[in-house]
Amino acid sequence: MTRIAVFISGRGSNLQALIDARARGDLAGDIGVVVSSRTGAPGLERARKAGLHHCVVEPADHASREAFDAELDRVAKQTGCGLICLAGFMRILTPGFAQAWRDRILNIHPALLPAFPGTDCHRRVLDSGVMITGCTVHFVRPQVDAGPIIAQAAVPVLPGDDEKSLADRVLVAEHRIYPLALDLVLQGRVRVIEERVVVDAPVRSDDMLVNPAP
């Protein structure tokens, strides 16, 4: 059974979605460790409640990005993890780390990549006037918010939306597709060929198109 290291920095709502999926039996792997880049991140409490091994690795305690990433690598390996899930992890990994864990680090981004990469994307979505946004699970590459796409969901932007209401609606989709995508990877049904994902599984389009709550 593959073990997963989940890297967080904040509330860890996507961590919770993974914990819940595991509890339901919908994840073909175990969460081996939860690593927070910030002391007191609320997500650590979720890990504790779920009885998961967890720890803090703070950038300030390390002399360089490389040293910080080396510690992340050490923790992941020490806990027997073969896969890393970024879940609101607010640090950019070094190219060396991304290369060492190539096709074994997943990230979720709250927009329909390649549109709106980077931080603060709900604000930019609202400013742009687009009517559809969404979220994307992808393998991590040294470039920020780039890499082969494993799953996406579309979410409507509605009149009167602010960043909070839009983020909340997108989060519903994130919590749906992150466990689905991770499970496909854990089952060995995802291959990367020429930097594109090939999934050996039927795609359910109803997982990709998320209507707002009625």
Amino acid (1-letter code) at residue 200:
D
109 is catalytic: yes
Token representation of residue 70: 């080396």
C-beta of 40 vs 127, nearer to a second copy: 127
201 C-beta neighbours (distance < 10 Å), count: 11
- The label of the residue with tokens 């880049």 reads 37
12 binds a second copy (CB under 8 A): no
Helices (runs of H) and strands (runs of E) counted in the chain? 6, 9
C-beta of 61 vs 162, nearer to a second copy: 162
Helix (H) or strand (E) run with residue 37 in it? none
152 binds a second copy (CB under 8 A): yes
DSSP 2-14: EEEEEEESS--HH
CB 7 within 8 A of CB 41: no
In the complex, the smallest distance separating the C-beta of residue 153 from a second copy, rounded to whole angstroms, is 8
C-beta of 80 vs 118, nearer to a second copy: 118
User: Exactly one of 53, 54, 62, 109 is catalytic; which is it?
Assistant: 109
120 binds a second copy (CB under 8 A): no
Interface residue with a second copy, options 151, 166, 185, 190 (CB under 8 A): 151
C-beta of 83 vs 125, nearer to a second copy: 125
Distance, in Å, from the CA atom of 187 to the CA atom of 24, rounded to the nearest integer, reads 16
Write the DSSP symbol of residue 168: H
In the complex, the smallest distance separating the C-beta of residue 97 from a second copy, rounded to whole angstroms, is 23
Number of residues that bind a second copy (CB under 8 A): 33
Residues with Cβ within 8 Å of 96's Cβ and at least 6 positions away in sequence, in order, are: 66, 69
Interface residue with a second copy, options 158, 162, 168, 191 (CB under 8 A): 158
In the complex, the smallest distance separating the C-beta of residue 29 from a second copy, rounded to whole angstroms, is 22
In the complex, the smallest distance separating the C-beta of residue 22 from a second copy, rounded to whole angstroms, is 24
- Residue closest to 5 by CA, chosen among 95, 140, 133: 140
Q: Between residue 174 and residue 213, which ones bind a second copy under the rule CB under 8 A? A: 195-199, 203, 205-206, 208-212
Distance, in Å, from the CA atom of 85 to the CA atom of 6, rounded to the nearest integer, reads 5
Which residues are identified as catalytic? 109
> Residues in the site for a second copy, rule: CB under 8 A?
112-115, 127-132, 134, 148-149, 151-154, 156, 158-159, 195-199, 203, 205-206, 208-212
